[in-house]
């Protein structure tokens, strides 16, 4: 399978709106990839169907079999990371190789409070 890794600067995984999400992606693959993509995306989890949206992405063309690159995204205002009983919104930075589709996902939190909004947590 080879190695594919996402690292966020200073190990930071919680962001407020407009804050920069900075990190790097590194890969050492068995075969050269045609493209490596790094995506900032959210998705839903819960009782209903899955919704998801890639809000920003970095496309690395001709990445070869081994390399690394830096990325910088800006955390959007919404949707914020939250969880209730029916639905959760989860954010992540994901790196994907193409055409093989190998991927690695780094969960992150985007929230004005600095942590996931818990709709049923202590108030």
List interacting residues with another protein (CB under 8 A): 45-50, 83-88, 90, 118, 120
Least gap, CB of 81 to another protein (angstroms): 10
In the bound state with another protein, the residue whose beta carbon lies nearer, of 107 and 112, is: 107
Q: Residue for token digits 């995984």?
A: 13
Q: Residue 87's CB: how many other CB atoms inside 10 A?
A: 14
In angstroms, give the least distance from the CB of 84 to another protein.
6
Q: How far is the CB of 51 from another protein (least distance, A)?
A: 10
Cβ pair 1, 97 in contact under 8 A: no
79 preceded by cis ω (within 30°)? yes
Residues 63 and 32: beta-carbon distance below 8 Å: yes
Q: Pick the closer one to another protein by CB: 61 or 120.
A: 120
- Phi-psi region at 11: left, alpha or beta (left = phi > 0; alpha = psi -120 to 50): left
Q: How far is the CB of 90 from another protein (least distance, A)?
A: 6
Which of 47/78 has CB closer to another protein?
A: 47
């Amino acid at each position: 399978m080879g190695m594919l890794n996402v690292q966020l600067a200073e190990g930071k995984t919680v962001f407020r709106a407009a804050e920069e999400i900075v990190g790097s992606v590194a890969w050492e693959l068995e075969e050269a990839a045609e493209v490596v993509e790094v995506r900032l995306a959210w998705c839903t989890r819960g009782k209903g169907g899955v919704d998801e949206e890639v809000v920003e992405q970095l496309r690395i063309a001709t990445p070869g079999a081994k390399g690394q690159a830096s990325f910088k995204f800006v955390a959007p205002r919404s949707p914020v990371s939250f969880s209730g009983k029916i639905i959760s919104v989860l954010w992540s930075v994901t790196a994907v190789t193409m055409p093989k589709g190998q991927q690695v996902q780094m969960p992150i939190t985007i929230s004005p409070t600095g942590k996931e909004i818990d709709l049923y947590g202590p108030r």
